[in-house]
Amino acid sequence: MAKVTVIVPAYNAEQTIVATIASVQQQTIQDWELIVIDDGSSDRTPELLKRIREPRMRVYHYSNAGVSVARNRGIALAQGELIAFLDADDLWSADKLELQVAALQQYPHAAVAYSWTYFMNATATTMHAAPGVWFEGDVYQQLLVRNFLYSGSNPLVRRDALVLVGGFEPTLTHGEDWELFVRLAAVVQFVVVPVGQVFYRQSSTSASAQVDLMEQRLLLVIDSVFSAAPPQFQHFKNKNLANLYQYLTGLRLAQATNLEDVKQAGKKLQIAVRLSPRILLNHTTQYFFIKWFLMQLFSPDITKKISQISTAYTTYFKLKQV
């Protein structure tokens, strides 16, 4: 029986699924099984999966039911005592599982190990590091403020803990990972692997690009999470909402093609500041403000090119230090 089960939910992932599975095959530990849940793909995803020769991989095909149901199906099929999730367009560093397994072995009281994240573009040619945090033990309060794990592709979780909280909420299509993390944090402890190991892809075809729909559905998830939170934690809701609107500002700026788009980004930024004025002290907020200001002076395209050059320059030197 494999020690770790890796669950990959895949829906129309023909552009990325091969690279994603390769990042699992390249792991420095070998004691794993891979379960791919094809969630009703209509592209070449099933065909590409058939071509992959990997005896530790099992592929299951279902009608489309959404990422939460797909992950829960994987949990039900898993044989490992530890479970990791990897979205079909994300990547891991080769030592991701090894270091997270070691962290849970070193801290047996913890049930979730998480690492730091890189955000990358659709072609994985540019990336930037998310702010690294060191939250460990009881992280319920910190997770109420923001999702510092960033994606479902991050944590390694003890199977017993997932069973205890009931897995993913099947009705959610956005924020389902954060909602699960909060429920886990209410009953188990977390441990950090302070290394960038998760490469989260942001592209025009990902859920991240559907900004308006994302905003509507995440607001509902936030309301649901805080309705279940004890009274002493309710004052964190505005901080969470401010972080959401900061994130939406970044998405709006990334997609902006005209001044109206820039204007909409500015509105999201104003909401974030109104909800939590201290967010102005955040470096990401300051960066978005400068980018928004420059986009009004110049065209969005020119500003993006300047930003891309800056990001590529920063990424090059960060990766040289790894």
Is beta strand 4-10 parallel, antiparallel or unpaired with respect to 82-85? parallel
Reported as a single tens digit per residue, the pLDDT across 17-33 is 999 999 999 999 999 99
Q: How far apart are CA 291 and CA 254, in angstroms?
A: 10
pTM of the model: 0.89
Is residue 16's pLDDT more than 60? Answer: yes
Banded pLDDT at 319 (limits 50, 70, 90) = very low
Q: How far apart are CA 58 and CA 33, in angstroms?
A: 8
What share of the chain has pLDDT > 90, as a percent?
A: 78
Is beta strand 156-158 parallel, antiparallel or unpaired with respect to 82-85? antiparallel
Tokens standing for residue 33: 């099984």
As a whole number, the mean pLDDT across the chain is: 91
Q: Which structural domains are found in the chain, ordered by start?
A: 4-201 (3.90.550.10), 230-321 (no CATH)
**Contact yes or no for 173/94 (Cβ under 8 A):** no
Give the angle subtended at the CA of 32 by the CAs of 24 and 89, to the nearest 5°: 25
Our CA dihedral for 247, 248, 249, 251, rounded to 10 degrees, sits at 90
Reported as a single tens digit per residue, the pLDDT across 112-129 is 999 999 999 888 888 889
